[in-house]
Amino acid sequence: MFEWVSGSHSTAVRPPAVTTTDLKDWLAGLAALDADVTDAERIQQLRALEQLKSAAAAAQVRVTADLDESVRAERAARGVPASERGRGIGAQVALARRESPNRGGRHLGFARALVNEMPHTLAAVTDGGLSEWRATLLVRETACLSREDRGRVDAELCADPATLAGMGDRAVSDAARRAAYRLDPQAAVSRASRAQSDRCVSLRPAPDTMSYLTGLLPVAQGVAAHAALSAAADQAHAAGDPRSRQQVMADTLVERVTGQSTAHSTPVNVNLVMTERSLLAGDDEPAEIVGYGPVSAGTARDLLRRHTQTDDPAGQAWLRRLFTHPTTGELVAMQAKAETFPPALRQLLVFRDQTCRTPWCDAPVRHADHARRRADGGETSAGNGQGLCEQCNYVKEAPGWAAAEHASSGTGHHVVQTTTPTGHRYRSRPPPLPGAPPDLTERGSTRALGSIDVYFTELLRDFDAA
Ligand SMILES: [Zn+2]
């Protein structure tokens, strides 16, 4: 890839290859960075470290592209169809980098683009002159171009380090977009139509038990939806509604989306996980709303009070109460002989795991998965079950991947160990639930074990009621 490593047409002496052990030594060296220096030298340290980060990013790019090429070649040799050869590579990159599989896929695409189509950009990152983020912007803004045109932008902007010198993030991405528009105006138009397929709705927590519901929509639809809410606010105001415009718009949004007559009636189904101490004894241990995150114990009790007292038939939906194991804070387990997870057990996995169990993956749970496959003798139980997102479940079924409940932890916590095709092992635990002890090594007492049955029954009754 680079002259001094590709060899054939280079006369330079190849420096000795840097090993993984060397890299670890560098880490130790950085931890011991000389602190007894002048301020002028501190500035130089900052600059050199920044260059090192870029160079490390470039090295990751080359390693990633090599891994991709090697895995694909090995699969091609085994006769795996071309469309299947790349399966799970991004997920392995993600696990190694402690990032979500989604981002792993992006790292892989970034590496392939730089190595195969943008050599000047890669060289600039390798030198430490261009940051990883700015290279990402260049890759992103040229994604709509043909390989040839992308190569032209690469040469135009990065062959001479002076071209981008002094440019900030915005200027770099503008320069790339300008060059792309000039080379292929049509590509920009088709890119806009492709962007429409990215439309989505997401939910994330906001302070004070509020939440952001966000829709990424084509501009015409977004404007139309906002105008409709705005018109509803005008109408309400004209009729003397005391609520503010913003309040009316927010309430109207909820009413129209959920089909409820008023925004204040009970949500269709909100799952609340809390300890009995918080529920009955006024304890302060926070509760969890599944799909949202922690809420204070007071808020949880308040929610329960409001929604269990309502006489409104539309508000008959209820808050599902789940009790957590008093010692380990884990939801109680249950077993079934079924091939697939029965609805109640599936729900339990969703409550316990909350998000995909793949480490560093924050995606919502979509599949109840047998950690050890049914075909390999895995049972349909909470212990062998894990909640996975769609993508991770697909990856896990690829050849060379395996998973199983890891029993040796001895702490009462549920642990799944996933093994990747390279033999690396990663362990995941569900997020802590209300009532989890600060000392995670504390073992379940006899009383706690006895209580499992009680909670188990409680849980089943709730599910039966559903
Ligand atoms: Zn996932």
Site of tokens 């479940």 = 393
Q: Lowest mean pLDDT: which of 35-39, 184-188, 313-317, 392-396?
A: 313-317
CA of 114 to the centre of ligand 1 (A): 26
CA of 355 to the centre of ligand 1 (A): 8
As a whole number of angstroms, the distance between CA 163 and CA 157 comes to 6
CA of 237 to the centre of ligand 1 (A): 45
pLDDT in the model for residue 67: 97
CA of 429 to the centre of ligand 1 (A): 13
CA of 205 to the centre of ligand 1 (A): 20
Residue 57 or residue 462, greater confidence:
57
As a whole number of angstroms, the distance between CA 165 and CA 227 comes to 44
CA of 458 to the centre of ligand 1 (A): 30
Does residue 62 have a pLDDT over 90?
Answer: yes
Does residue 466 have a pLDDT over 50?
Answer: no
CA of 364 to the centre of ligand 1 (A): 8
CA of 293 to the centre of ligand 1 (A): 18
Mean pLDDT of 103-115: 96
- Name the pLDDT band for 279 (thresholds 50, 70, 90): low
CA of 389 to the centre of ligand 1 (A): 4
Give a three-class secondary structure readout of 5-60: HHCCCCCCCCCCCCCHHHHHHHHHHHHCCCCCCCHHHHHHHHHHHHHHHHHHHHHH
97 close to 104: Cβ distance less than 8 angstroms: yes
Q: Lowest mean pLDDT: which of 261-275, 281-295, 325-339, 421-435?
A: 325-339
CA of 56 to the centre of ligand 1 (A): 26
Q: Give the type of residue at 26.
A: W
CA of 343 to the centre of ligand 1 (A): 21
Q: What is the CA radius of gyration of the chain?
A: 27
CA of 393 to the centre of ligand 1 (A): 7
As a whole number of angstroms, the distance between CA 301 and CA 279 comes to 6
For residue 402, list its beta bridge partners: 419
CA of 360 to the centre of ligand 1 (A): 8
- Which segment, 142-151, 342-351, 451-460, is predicted with the most confidence on average? 142-151
User: Count of CB atoms within 10 A of residue 466's CB?
Assistant: 11
412 close to 325: Cβ distance less than 8 angstroms: yes
CA of 222 to the centre of ligand 1 (A): 29
For residue 425, list its beta bridge partners: 419
pLDDT in the model for residue 195: 76
278 close to 297: Cβ distance less than 8 angstroms: yes
Strands (E), 75-226: 200-206, 210-216
pLDDT in the model for residue 271: 67
Q: Lowest mean pLDDT: which of 2-16, 47-61, 150-164, 295-309?
A: 2-16
CA of 156 to the centre of ligand 1 (A): 39
CA of 110 to the centre of ligand 1 (A): 20
Between helices 245-258 and 219-238, what is the axis angle to 10°?
Answer: 120
Phi and psi torsions of 85, nearest 5°: -70, -25
Mean pLDDT of 38-55: 96
CA of 388 to the centre of ligand 1 (A): 5
Strands (E), 198-246: 200-206, 210-216
CA distances, 193 to each of 149, 337, 373 (Å): 20, 48, 41
CA of 283 to the centre of ligand 1 (A): 34
pLDDT in the model for residue 352: 79
384 close to 405: Cβ distance less than 8 angstroms: yes
Residue ranges near ligand 1 (ion) with Cβ within 5 Å: 356, 358, 361, 363, 389, 392
Q: HSE (CB half, 13 Å, CA atoms) of 171?
A: 7
CA of 366 to the centre of ligand 1 (A): 9
CA of 340 to the centre of ligand 1 (A): 20
Residue 409 or residue 112, greater confidence:
112
CA of 27 to the centre of ligand 1 (A): 30
Residue 268 or residue 401, greater confidence:
401
Strands (E), 217-355: 270-274, 287-289, 293-295, 319-323, 335-336
Site of tokens 């680079």 = 2
Between helices 147-158 and 119-126, what is the axis angle to 10°?
Answer: 40
CA of 463 to the centre of ligand 1 (A): 26
Give the whole-number percent of the chain exceeding pLDDT 70: 76
pLDDT in the model for residue 63: 98
Average pLDDT over the chain, rounded to an integer: 79
- Written as six digits, the tokens of 332 are 């109680």
CA of 401 to the centre of ligand 1 (A): 14
CA distances, 234 to each of 228, 240, 242, 250 (Å): 10, 10, 12, 13
Helix/strand/coil percent split, the chain, to 5: 50, 10, 35
Is 271 strand, coil or helix?
A: strand
Count H helices and E strands in the chain, helices first. 17, 13
As a whole number of angstroms, the distance between CA 223 and CA 133 comes to 31
> pTM above 0.85?
no
Does residue 191 have a pLDDT over 80?
Answer: no
- Name the pLDDT band for 23 (thresholds 50, 70, 90): very high
As a whole number of angstroms, the distance between CA 46 and CA 145 comes to 36
Element (H, E) at 380: strand 380-381
CA of 362 to the centre of ligand 1 (A): 7
